[in-house]
């Protein structure tokens, strides 16, 4: 396979629901291009917009390995549904046919005489051959050259050809992107990040819906070690590949937990802690101009996530609380955590502040007035402001 015969490597990005945005589409596409540019910082790439497609042109002479690295990196950028490592050739039937032959010559499918099809698309309607005519021309030469059987219904190998304004692109496969909307197109949110499995997945899901997510972690210090902070840092560092410029803050929460524990309402301690966390997060959110909070709650998964207790937590703050995992079970959440690369980190042992002072038996139907009485004794509003003042930023090394 020679680069001269195949042309130059490039990367094609297929967009999903961005193309359905009507009059606002250009705003979403501009945001997506900016996110791609940030993700590819350090790579020399020319980003060009097409109708429903973004083409990444690499410098002349770029090695295939570099193009593959670029393709892998942009596959993590929300707003893209498919990523194709493609070859850019002159837009004439002869060049396209020769490139198609070289593209598949050394493939396993050719070696085992796999069934094939050619799928062409003309974005430039001035091209002299219609899509089905180009399919027949290229498919006929492939059949003559390699003796592969044609199967238009269920091919094992598909050669894709896209004829564009100034060139044609050829590719045989691709990798799935993240889908969703470009990060930053829906606003900013603050995610409460524990060291567990659920909250990183919740944050990821909101990134896919266009939210730029910052992270707030509650540490049990001084009653725990820094292990949970290290986990939170590792989780944010992993999640940063989906949005870039992620920010993490840590709240030393141990003494506040101890005060709640000493309030005498043992069964309500977990929900009281959660409400204080939310109040603190709301105070931080106001300071960083975040418009919502994000949690990893899943209905009925633990005692604090019954419907009554979720309602009691919602009542603690005015900002909306987004719960993208609310209808998922643990198996589904773990599968997504494994896919996005956070599961292995979340399963590392640490001292979780949420369980440090948890009672043996927690309340499943907390009454809001009982919680308010605890908060009045603690001066919860002032305490939340003090906790927000105590946050410590952790800069990501990415």
| The model scores a pTM over 0.95 | no
104-130: per-residue pLDDT in tens? Answer: 999 999 999 999 999 999 988 899 999
> Looking at the structure, do residues 350 and 217 belong to the same domain, yes or no?
yes
> Looking at the structure, do residues 260 and 210 belong to the same domain, yes or no?
yes
Contact (Cβ atoms closer than 8 angstroms) between residue 178 and residue 91: no
Using CA atoms, how far apart are residues 298 and 352, in angstroms rounded to an integer? Answer: 18
- CATH number at 25 reads 3.30.2130.30
pLDDT given for residue 21 in this prediction: 85
> Looking at the structure, do residues 196 and 335 belong to the same domain, yes or no?
yes
> Looking at the structure, do residues 83 and 132 belong to the same domain, yes or no?
yes
Using CA atoms, how far apart are residues 186 and 288, in angstroms rounded to an integer? Answer: 16
pLDDT given for residue 358 in this prediction: 61
Q: How far, in Å, are 243, 280, 359, 383 from residue 273 at the CA level? A: 30, 11, 12, 12
Token pair belonging to 395:
């800069």
Contact (Cβ atoms closer than 8 angstroms) between residue 37 and residue 77: no
356 pLDDT exceeds 70? no
> Looking at the structure, do residues 335 and 262 belong to the same domain, yes or no?
yes
192 annotated binding-site participant: yes
As a whole number, the mean pLDDT across the chain is 92
193 annotated binding-site participant: yes
Using CA atoms, how far apart are residues 332 and 335, in angstroms rounded to an integer? Answer: 5
217 annotated binding-site participant: yes
pLDDT given for residue 22 in this prediction: 84
> With pLDDT > 90 as the criterion, what percentage of the chain qualifies?
80
215 annotated binding-site participant: no
Using CA atoms, how far apart are residues 322 and 207, in angstroms rounded to an integer? Answer: 12
296 annotated binding-site participant: yes
395 pLDDT exceeds 80? yes
**DSSP helix, strand, coil percent of the chain (3-state; round to 5):** 45, 20, 35
Number of domains in the chain: 2
Task: Give the strand pairing for 116-122 and 53-57.
Answer: unpaired
Residue 181: inside a domain: no
Print the domain residue range for 270: 188-395
Q: Tell me the sheet residues that pair with 162.
A: 121, 169
From 119, 141, 176, give the residue that closes a domain. 176
In terms of C-beta density within 10 A (0-12 exposed, 13-18 middle, 19 or more buried), how is residue 282 classed? Answer: buried
């Amino acid at each position: 396979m020679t680069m001269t015969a195949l042309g130059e490597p490039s990367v094609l990005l297929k967009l999903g629901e961005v193309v359905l945005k009507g009059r606002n589409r250009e705003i979403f596409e501009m945001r997506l291009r900016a996110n791609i540019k940030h993700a590819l910082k350090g790579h020399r790439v020319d980003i060009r917009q097409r109708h429903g497609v973004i083409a990444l042109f690499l410098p002349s002479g770029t090695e295939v390995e570099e193009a593959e690295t670029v393709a892998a990196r942009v596959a993590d950028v929300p707003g893209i549904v498919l990523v194709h490592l493609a070859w850019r050739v002159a837009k004439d039937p002869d060049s396209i046919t020769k490139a198609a032959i070289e593209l598949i010559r050394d493939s396993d499918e050719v070696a085992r005489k796999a069934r094939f099809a050619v799928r062409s698309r003309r974005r430039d309607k001035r091209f002299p051959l219609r899509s089905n005519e180009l399919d027949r021309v290229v498919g006929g030469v492939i059949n003559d050259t390699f003796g592969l059987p044609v199967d238009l219904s269920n091919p094992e190998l598909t050669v894709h050809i896209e004829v564009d304004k100034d060139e044609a692109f050829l590719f045989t496969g691709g990798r799935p992107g993240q889908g969703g909307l470009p990060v930053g197109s829906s606003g900013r949110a603050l995610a409460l990040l524990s060291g567990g499995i659920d909250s990183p997945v919740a944050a990821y899901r909101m990134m896919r819906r266009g939210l730029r997510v910052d992270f707030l972690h509650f540490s049990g210090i001084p009653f725990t070690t820094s292990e949970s902070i290290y986990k939170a840092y590792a989780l944010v560092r992993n999640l940063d590949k989906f949005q870039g410029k992620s920010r993490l803050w840590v709240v030393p929460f141990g003494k506040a937990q101890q005060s709640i524990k000493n309030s005498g309402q043992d069964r309500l301690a977990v929900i009281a802690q959660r409400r204080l966390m939310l109040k603190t997060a709301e105070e931080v959110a106001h300071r960083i101009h975040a418009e919502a909070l994000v949690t990893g709650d899943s209905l009925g998964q633990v005692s604090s996530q019954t419907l009554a207790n979720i309602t009691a937590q919602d009542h603690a703050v005015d900002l909306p609380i987004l719960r993208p995992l609310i209808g998922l079970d643990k198996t589904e959440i773990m599968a997504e955590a494994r896919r996005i690369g956070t599961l292995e980190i979340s399963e590392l042992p640490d001292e979780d502040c949420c369980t440090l002072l948890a009672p043996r038996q927690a309340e499943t139907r907390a009454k809001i007035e009982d919680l308010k009485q605890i908060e009045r004794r603690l001066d919860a509003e002032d305490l939340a402001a003090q906790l927000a003042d105590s946050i410590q930023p952790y800069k990501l090394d990415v």
